[in-house]
Every structure is written in C-alpha cells, then in structure tokens.
Amino acid sequence: MIKIFISFATITTTCFFAPIQIQAQIQDQQPIPSLKETFKNEFLIGTALNTSQILEKDVTANKLITQQFNAATPENIMKAEIIHPTWNQFDFTLADKLVEYGRKNNIKINGHTLIWHSQLPRFVRQIKSPDSLAQFFADHITTIASHYDGKVLSWDVVNEALEENGSLRKSIFLQQLGEGYIVEAFRLAQKAAPHTELYYNDYNIEQPKKRAGAIEIIKKIKAAGVRIDGVGIQGHWRASKIPLAEIEQSILDFSALGVKVMFTELDLSVLPNPWDSDNADVSATAGNSKGKDPYPNGLPDSMQTILAKGYEDLFRLFLKHKDKISRITFWGVNDGQSWLNNFPIRGRTNYPTLFDRTYTAKPAFYAVIATKK
C-alpha cells in the first residue's frame, strides 16, 4: 500500500505543479513522467547507485532507475578502500558490474573517485614515505583510469581537496606530496584515460572563498598544459536555505574558465542543522538530542511544500543556464538510501530526494518536471 504523507491543500499557488492532477495520478497509479526524457535536451539526469542496485537485487528500484536516469555515479565501489584494498591488489568486480549495468541500460557512468583523502585502504594511511605514497598515487590512478578508459564517461579525478576558506585540505596527499599533487593527478589521468572526461569535484564550492580555491585549482591545471574538462558542485543544501545567488555566480565563474559545470551529489535536507552552515565532510559528526529527528513517521505537508519549492527554484536556475550545465545527479534514488539519514547525526529520518521510501514520486518530483512547462 502506498503511503502519501502530503495534503495538497497546503500547497500555495506560487508553486508551479498542479496538485489535483498529481493526486489523481498517484491514486490511479498511472505511469509517471521521466526525468531523463523531460530534460533530454538540457542535461543528463543522474543518480547515485549502491551495491544492491548495481546488482539489480531490488526490482522496484531497478525499474525506477532505468525509467528516470541516464547517468549514474557509484556511491562507494570505486573508492580506494574497495577497488584497491592492498598494495598489489585491485578488485574491479563490482565496478565492472556497474559498467555493464550502464551499458545494458544506456546509462552513462561517472567514476567516483580516483583521489580522495577519505575511505582510503588501511595500508595507505600507514605510509610514511613520500616516495612510497607517490608510487601508490601513480599506480592507483594509472591502473584504474586505464582499465575504464572508454568504458566510463568521466572521472572525479580529485575529490574534496579544499578547506572552507579555499586553502588546500591538509590531507595525506598534500602533506607528503606537496601542492602539485592535484595537477599531477590530472596529468596521470589524462595519460591513462585519453577518452574519458576529467573533473574536479567538491562541496560548498559555490561559496565565495571555497569557489576561489576551486578556480585556482582549475587555473593551475590548465596553466600546466593538463586537461580538465569539468567541475562538479556537489549540492548538499538545506531545502529552506538554498544559496541560489552563490550557485548562479559559481555557474558563471566556472563556465568562464572553459569547463563544464555539473551538480554531482544533489540532495536537500529537511532536518534541523546542528551547525550554522552547510557541511558535507563525511568525518564530521554531531551528537543526537531531543528535537533533532522531528519527522520519524513522515514528512508534514508544510515541509513537503518547502522541499518542492527548493527543487523548483534550483531547476529553474539550472534551466536558465542549461548551456553551461552538462549533468544533474541526485545523491540517492530514494529517501531510504540517502546518506543524510546518518549525517551528521546517526539514525535520523531524512527526506532529501524526489522519491520516498516506497519509490513513490513526491511533490518535489512534479515540481521539477513542471519547470519545463
């Protein structure tokens, strides 16, 4: 039985979807529109896939994925701790299945990610010699990027290399290899994967200071004569406080550098934020307390409206700059899959995607669809 937690009477006339039509469509269980078809002339529409979805264990999820999305990014299986677990061992098993899944369903794959300070295998965290780390660095990028050259559309070559003030994150790579490690990562990826697009990916780079840091990275890569094809803005925002002006400026600033712009991990949290700023650092945690999980049994009408309006505003902005944006990827197929159920407080119930836990389209989904009308 499908549970609908929304009362369409609360939706104001400023929203652009038709409540009565939506309600009737859900009740009649008619086929819903397709995101990938709706925006086929504007940008790719992607989602993050977990292992169960890649292995097609959930029939309902698989039907929705193939109907709605034409791009996909793996949540975890291409991260170093899984694909390169020991010094001399690479495990391509799950990543190869993802590539096959994409080929079979005409879904373009974005590799995520070659160099990231988090989710490293234990042996890397124990390396103390810069020479040994440089050897790992080169072998890791060259082996994996070459294995998937021509099989994936793109790679997030370097992920989350910046602090909030725009300076380089004090990761193991910066500390042992120096500031040139980012340019070198792109140089190695370019050589190993000449038929693959190469991206820099980060969160909060729509914010002025961090954006300036990302611009500096892109300029340094280009000045070195190395290829960088795009920049990914992750898009982990609060539904009630989306920084639209900063997002628009980031689109303009990055595209002016001659690179593609993508929104790579889009989700809109509806839960109280324990901090006074957006934060997507997976190592950050906050203690649980009363009132921090306000909607364990379903999202109230008022919050459904806020979520729908947030997605509507974003997609109107994306459409305004459709000539500069190549992909929009949602970070999760449905609410139950979202990492935000456990970040930054474990065990909460969040509702940040376009589909609820039964894979039913939410008002936010129809708000996005309606931006094309």
pLDDT at 147: 98
Catalytic residue among 75, 160, 184, 197: 160
pLDDT at 134: 98
pLDDT at 200: 98
pLDDT at 291: 54
Q: Is 246 considered catalytic here?
A: no
Q: Is 163 considered catalytic here?
A: no
pLDDT at 288: 56
pLDDT at 373: 85
pLDDT at 278: 54
pLDDT at 343: 74
pLDDT at 114: 98
118 burial (CB, 10 Å; 0-12 / 13-18 / 19+) is middle
Catalytic residue among 184, 206, 265, 312: 265
Which portions of the chain are predicted below pLDDT 50? 1-28, 279, 282, 284-286
Cis peptide before 300 (omega within 30 of 0): no
What the chain holds in terms of domains, given with CATH numbers, is 8-272+293-370 (3.20.20.80)
pLDDT at 292: 82
pLDDT at 66: 98
pLDDT at 277: 52
How far is residue 209's CA from residue 206's CA, in Å, rounded to a whole number? 9
pTM of the model: 0.88
Per-residue pLDDT tens over the stretch 15-36: 444 433 444 344 445 789 999 9
User: How many Cβ atoms are within 10 Å of 246's Cβ, its own excluded?
Assistant: 15
In the chain the first and final C-alpha atoms are separated, in Å, by: 31
